[in-house]
Copies of this chain bind each other. A is one copy, B any other.
């Protein structure tokens, strides 16, 4: 049995493209004690990949040329030498852009145990995107009912989930997204009270100021850049900013400049705090269970943009930055088809 893998051929200087990767067939090693073999069904494409490839001093080491591309994936265990992880279990983890992964318990991020919901959601709303939205919003922003919550990349997998949780908590939710189609989606599908297309706003800062006469109490920041500058100029007293991502910036080398934040923080007694969802791993089951219930109740909707086959992976990262993807970007492998035919799999 061969294992097709996408490996890093050369290090990109900016947004990674198909030319930086190649495909290879690899042997699957024997399972060691405690290991198990995952047959991957869906592979994830995430903004964090850019950082894994480009930036040193990140929270994970860089992926080196020659290595299989690091990626989250969800699949089914088909062989095991670990009594805690048995054949038929479905698990999510950093399994890489490949068909099969020899993994151990440490590599598992989550068990995909909400079997009435589609397995692909384990890479999105019931996966790292969902828990990122959950902890960033509840732990860092900590909004109170009736407060104004602004979310950037609001049509994205994390932003749309965070906005809907905030709405479920009784907040006024304001979306910032790029393009009229996404703007409408934020209002019509994700229930934001108001949505701005930053590309169409001549003065986003003024538009936010008019829309938020009492200021912005919470800002869930997925972009940094000019969008954040406009939001930070409109903070309410005591505002909380959760720094989750920097999608608006294509590189940190050279380090980008922006308006200094100190005076906003000082005069508004405001806070900015960065967080990484993986730090909350011990609390993931709590978050997934809550999100699954919101999904079942119709309070949280989610969108997926599914590409077919491993060969779609190398060119997929670019899609995150050209604004064309319409939901959580996922690569579907052959294993997914087989699992859909499994009567236990819903959706």
Which of A's residues lie within 8 Å of B, judged by CB? 57-59, 221, 224, 228, 243-246, 249, 252, 255-276, 279
Judging by beta carbons under 8 Å apart, are A272 and B275 in contact? Answer: no
Asked if A271 contacts B269 (CB within 8 A), the reply is no
Closest B residue to A233 by beta carbon equals: B255
Give chain B nearest CB distance to A55 CB in angstroms: 8
Q: Which residues of B contact A260 (CB under 8 A)?
A: 224, 246, 249, 255-258
Kindly list chain B residues whose C-beta atoms are within 8 Å of the C-beta of A263.
Answer: 224, 246, 252, 255
**Residue in B59, B255, B267, B272 whose beta carbon sits within 8 Å of that of A259 in the complex:** B255
Query: Which residue of the partner chain B has the closest CB to A249?
Result: B260
Q: List 17 A-B contacts (CB under 8 A).
A: A224-B260, A224-B262, A243-B265, A244-B266, A246-B266, A249-B260, A252-B263, A255-B263, A256-B260, A258-B258, A261-B272, A264-B274, A266-B275, A267-B274, A269-B276, A271-B272, A272-B273
Chain B CB within 10 Å, residue with most, of A258, A262, A266:
A262
Cβ-closest chain B residue relative to A58 = B267
Q: Which residue of B lies closest to A246 (CB)?
A: B262
| New A-B pairs, 17, CB < 8 Å, besides A246-B263, A261-B261, A272-B272 | A57-B267, A59-B267, A221-B262, A224-B262, A224-B263, A243-B266, A255-B259, A255-B263, A257-B258, A257-B260, A262-B274, A265-B274, A266-B275, A269-B279, A270-B273, A271-B272, A271-B274
Q: How far is the CB of A256 from chain B (nearest CB, A)?
A: 5
Docked CA distance A264–B58 (Å): 10
CB-based contact A270/B274 at 8 Å = yes
